[in-house]
A and B are shown apart, each in its own frame.
Chain A
């Protein structure tokens, strides 16, 4: 079973910073960092104009399906995916076991530049997520004393 991911300020800000830098240096339209289960971790760039949650979910589904294909061919995974559109293109690559880096770019950039910039930050993303996972295992947090009545109130069942 996959371990839950908890992001605190330090790691979240580090991921946003990395995504922002990647977006800038790759001249991308937007960058999304996505958990392989489909959870959106951090975004940068023109993310307000995009349905980032849906992109995260579909990206994870896409990668999972492609991993299935890879295994049928005897490969462990396909390390990167690229979809070319008329205006916008999307480059998806794995950063370690948990995270996908999604770069959306148009004519202002190129696949070669995106690939280069992604490779330059992949280790930073992996290290940040590793720190978050290590912290997850030792953290005691504000949700530990959540009461059933608080949960009922959230669900409108007081």
Chain B
């Protein structure tokens, strides 16, 4: 959960990018990393296999600026999407403040999206979170691909609860910062609500 240091006047929050394998979670973080002022970001750590699949997690600390004199820092994590890294995914969700679900818009990945969403719900529940109330955003990635599923259909399947959602082409940066801002806003509103 969030960590607030009144002495050094810092707010630290943890956001996890979740979703099926090869859906673009790491690409989101890479785009953020490459397009952020060097003063605002720490080193991006990627623990990946030789085939560029995320093995454990990616980590990017990002400063968003100051609010009420508090430096606001978001720690962005991705989880490995492949089904067999389930234990790793659960570990990384521990202490999460907000979730971005990166869905793969391609028709043949629909089942993988649903499986991953179920998996997210299960792990959050096991960690004691209420899936409905935790800050979250859905990103429909790879909208530029010819086999992308109709947006309205994808929405009806993956977002029946109507949480904020964005279309994206993460590799080009489309929708990446909109998604990040939307989750950051929800996390900060939740932080205020819990005070």
Contact = CB atoms under 8 A, between A and B. Distances in A.
Contacts of B51: none
B2 A57 contact: no
Given A64-B91, A154-B72, A51 B185 contact: no
B3 A41 contact: yes
Contacts of B95: 2, 35-39
B56 A65 contact: yes
A154 B2 contact: no
Contacts of A141: 4, 6, 195
Nearest to A157: B181
B189 interface: yes
Interface in B114-173: 127-129
B43 A9 contact: no
B70 A143 contact: yes
Query: Which has the most chain B C-beta neighbours within 10 Å: A4, A9, A40?
Result: A4
Nearest to B91: A64
Interface residues of B, number: 45
B91 A12 contact: no
A3 B194 CA distance: 11
Contacts of B110: none
Interface in B167-195: 181, 184-185, 188-189, 191-192, 194-195
A143 B195 contact: yes
A34 B87 CA distance: 22
Contact of B67 (A13, A38, A61, A154): A154
A5 interface: yes
A5 B7 CA distance: 13
Interface residues of A, number: 43
Contacts of A39: 3, 12, 14, 75, 95
Interface stretch (B22-30, B58-66, B100-108): B58-66
B186 to A, nearest CB: 10
Interface in A113-158: 140-146, 148, 150-157
A13 B43 contact: no
B65 to A, nearest CB: 5
A64 B128 CA distance: 17
A37 B93 CA distance: 9
Contact of A38 (B7, B75, B191): B75
Contacts of B191: 143, 146
A12 B9 CA distance: 11
List the 6 closest pairs (A to B, CB-CB), nearest first: A37-B95, A12-B7, A144-B195, A1-B128, A39-B3, A4-B1
